[in-house]
Structure 1
């Protein structure tokens, strides 16, 4: 019979608590996450023609910088995330079809806990940055879904290898 899963950020009394990772082994960890940005057809056409530049500058370059900054500050945004040394952070931003931009963030560390939250934070903040840079063209831009696509290291591997 499978062991029942429990929430890890609650203490025995049901109060919020940071997970104690001191007994875990230090291992290589990696995670990838993605977030989509869907544009109205006329906006997508305009962005393709401009090479993904707006009046505010290079959209993809700015999104990568913002996403990287967010990865490094995830522990300041999500209450129970541990501050982690980030060994690597890479973004892939490509058109998916005619109207969707796919943003993938892959994060690596060598530590006692994983970087899933850092990858998710990087991908979503990069997507929010794209929205911010393009909102003058339309407020009908849609973000999401944001999802973890894979993780390696730790107790179990999930999804596609980062």
Structure 2
């Protein structure tokens, strides 16, 4: 709209803004600024387009206003520049933190019977998966880039054969006394244990499914205690 008004005030400037003009953009802008100076007595303080640079810089995104009753949720792994970052926990106090996660591995009847009878060629499925889950929880900072490397005080992984749906139910618990939670450690423990069950049994069936990886409860930290409600 502003440019249209300028075109009305200065008919000859239309040729400067035309894409068919032989003048380059910088010359056109200089001529337009001179015309404005002759009319207003001074050059424009802020030109619409800089004659020094044709690069366009997008404005920083703005947060939308919250609606009544809406809760603002911040993503701690995203910094002010909207780039990924590792959260600084140095200012937090130490506290006892625990977390329990779970998942299920659907085997199918044939594979279930083989695991139950310990007839899988690779060996004792549940024992190997248990150790793998514990190891996974202790190596999470090498697997997930923005997780902290923390000292675990306890890791538990339990695998139970479930005859109702020919599956393995897996539960993992992690505990630590420190500045950050252990939800990811518990979740990684059950995930790695589930993948190990698949690896041990995949020769017998490719149709094995790992499902319902989820956090069941956590304690400690600023957010306090939480438990899944179903």
> What's the TM-score once normalised by structure 1's chain length?
0.92
Q: What stretches of structure 2 of length at least 5 have no aligned partner?
A: 1-68
2:149 corresponds to: 83
1:102 corresponds to: 169
Q: Which protein has greater RCO, CA pairs closer than 8 Å, 6+ apart?
A: 1
Is the CA contact 1:44–1:98 (under 8 Å) kept in the aligned structure 2? no
Displacement after TM superposition at 1:56 (Å): 1.0
Are residue 117 (structure 1) and residue 191 (structure 2) matched?
Answer: no
Higher helix share: 2
Whole-angstrom CA distance in 1 between matches of 2:154 and 2:122: 27
- Structure ID, larger Rg: 2
Aligned length: 158
Displacement after TM superposition at 1:157 (Å): 1.3
1:25 corresponds to: 93
> What's the TM-score once normalised by structure 2's chain length?
0.66
Q: For 1:37-56, list aligned pairs within 5 A.
A: 37-48=105-116, 50-51=117-118, 53-56=119-122
Whole-angstrom CA distance in 2 between matches of 1:71 and 1:43: 27
Displacement after TM superposition at 1:2 (Å): 5.6
Are residue 143 (structure 1) and residue 176 (structure 2) matched?
Answer: no
Higher strand share: 1
Q: What stretches of structure 1 of length at least 5 have no aligned partner?
A: none
1:71 corresponds to: 137
Displacement after TM superposition at 1:42 (Å): 2.0
Cα deviation, 1:127-147, whole Å, max 9, x if unaligned, reads 000000001110000001100
Query: Which of 186, 195, 198 pairs up with 1:131?
Result: 198
